[in-house]
Structure 1
Amino acid sequence: MRIFLAYLILLAVFSQVPSVSATTQGHGNVHILGSIIDTPCGISSESRYQSVDLSTLPVSTIINDGAGPSKPFRISLSDCLLPGVLNSSNSGVKFSITFNGKKSEHSLFSVEGEGSGVGIEITDKAGNVAEPGKAMPAYTLEPDSMDLEFNMRLKANERAINPGDYQSTISFKMDYY
């Protein structure tokens, strides 16, 4: 009788195992991160991470012209709360933009790779040149201009020019006031 009772208890325990493990399947955790910021504008998701291809450029162009052709890029703003939109005030929001990256000669942004003797120059549509780590002149946001337009080009930096692939990473930040 004891063996039979022990057998029934073991059978009851083992018959419950599959249902116990089945109830623990199919769950997990989702960790959510974020922040709420107090700025007049956001930066659109397309503008946060961009790649600008300065294409293939012959060494002779850099030697003869000192630089390659300019390539445009833009930073698009979104969800802006401008004073002129919310009330009758005509004063726009002022901001500055700072481009950060490794500095080369003549305040150019440096490049890495086989290609050398050049740096990257960034200018705004007024012709102001960005220097690594320094804020550009102040801009005023207006309701009809939510795209900030810039140009980028390869420029000689007084070192020997070597052909080859190159790359650079340049970040930017905006300060409102």
Structure 2
Amino acid sequence: MRLNKLVMALGLGVVLAAGSVNAANPSQGHGTVTFTGSITDAPCSITPETVDQVVPMGSISSASLKNGGRSSSTPFKISLDNCTTETISTVTTTFVGAKSSIAGGDGLLGIEGIAKGAGIAITDAGGNKIKLGTPSPAVALHDGNNDLHFAAYLQGDTSPDAVVPGNFTGIANFQLTYQ
């Protein structure tokens, strides 16, 4: 009986010692890495940096937007990687989102937030306005990497005193169509 107690005491001591060794080396950092994406039936891949992006438009004077005025353009791009042009040679881009309700804002992207009385215009590389829901002019592709260049600007309501200062956000989704 005494031997059993001694074995149990030694076993308990080993278990406690093992626990204290673990406590002496606590985790020095851990985390999770989640990989996401999609596989598409397309001749090009969209780079991770440009598939979802934020375009900072800056601090825009309400005076510049009065009576249908506009801000300066802010460039952005959609980058395509590893394009193959064996059967497809051009691409169009269609932007969709909540339409602006401002006077003179046909085809503009609506804004949300404290700011009111303006909408976001999206233009192609030539500065031509692309209406929401309407494909851009076709852009020729070449094998390899391609950049689709666009710009955005804020356009004010044509009604006097319609522009209300404040922060805003406008969200547009884009769809590429290859031909």
Distance in 1 (CA, whole Å) between partners of 2:123 and 2:98 is: 17
Distance in 2 (CA, whole Å) between partners of 1:154 and 1:31 is: 36
Please give the secondary structure, in 2, of the residue aligned with 1:79: strand
Please give the secondary structure, in 1, of the residue aligned with 2:93: strand
The aligned residue for residue 148 of structure 1 is 148
The aligned residue for residue 178 of structure 2 is 176
Deviation at 1:152, TM superposition (A): 0.6
The aligned residue for residue 94 of structure 1 is 90
The aligned residue for residue 6 of structure 2 is 8
Residues 67 and 157, structure 2, Cα contact 8 Å, conserved in 1: no
Distance in 2 (CA, whole Å) between partners of 1:29 and 1:68 is: 42
Distance in 1 (CA, whole Å) between partners of 2:82 and 2:74 is: 27
CA 28–116 in structure 1, closer or farther in 2 if over 3 Å, else same: closer
- Structure-to-structure mapping, 1:148-167, within 5 angstroms: 148-158=148-158, 160-167=162-169
Residues 128 and 136, structure 1, Cα contact 8 Å, conserved in 2: no
Work out the percentage of aligned pairs sharing the same amino acid.
33
Please give the secondary structure, in 2, of the residue aligned with 1:52: coil
The aligned residue for residue 110 of structure 1 is 110
> Size of the alignment, in residue pairs?
166
Distance in 2 (CA, whole Å) between partners of 1:144 and 1:28 is: 36
Deviation at 1:33, TM superposition (A): 5.0
Distance in 2 (CA, whole Å) between partners of 1:28 and 1:74 is: 32
- Asked if residue 82 in structure 1 is aligned to residue 85 in structure 2, the reply is yes
What TM-score do the two structures reach when normalised by structure 1? 0.72
Distance in 2 (CA, whole Å) between partners of 1:58 and 1:30 is: 42
Deviation at 1:150, TM superposition (A): 0.8
Please give the secondary structure, in 2, of the residue aligned with 1:150: strand
- Structure-to-structure mapping, 1:17-56, within 5 angstroms: 17=15, 18-19=17-18, 34-56=37-59
Please give the secondary structure, in 1, of the residue aligned with 2:4: helix
What is the identity, as a one-letter code, of the residue corresponding to 1:98?
T
The aligned residue for residue 88 of structure 1 is none
Residues 113 and 169, structure 2, Cα contact 8 Å, conserved in 1: yes
Distance in 1 (CA, whole Å) between partners of 2:122 and 2:177 is: 18
What is the identity, as a one-letter code, of the residue corresponding to 2:171?
T
Distance in 2 (CA, whole Å) between partners of 1:129 and 1:9 is: 85
CA 117–65 in structure 1, closer or farther in 2 if over 3 Å, else same: closer
Please list every run of 5 or more consecutive structure 2 residues that lacks an aligned counterpart in the other structure: none
Which moved further from structure 2: 167-176 or 113-122? 167-176
Which moved further from structure 2: 125-134 or 94-103? 125-134
What is the identity, as a one-letter code, of the residue corresponding to 1:132?
L
Distance in 1 (CA, whole Å) between partners of 2:71 and 2:4 is: 87
Cα RMSD over matched residues? 3.3
What TM-score do the two structures reach when normalised by structure 2? 0.72
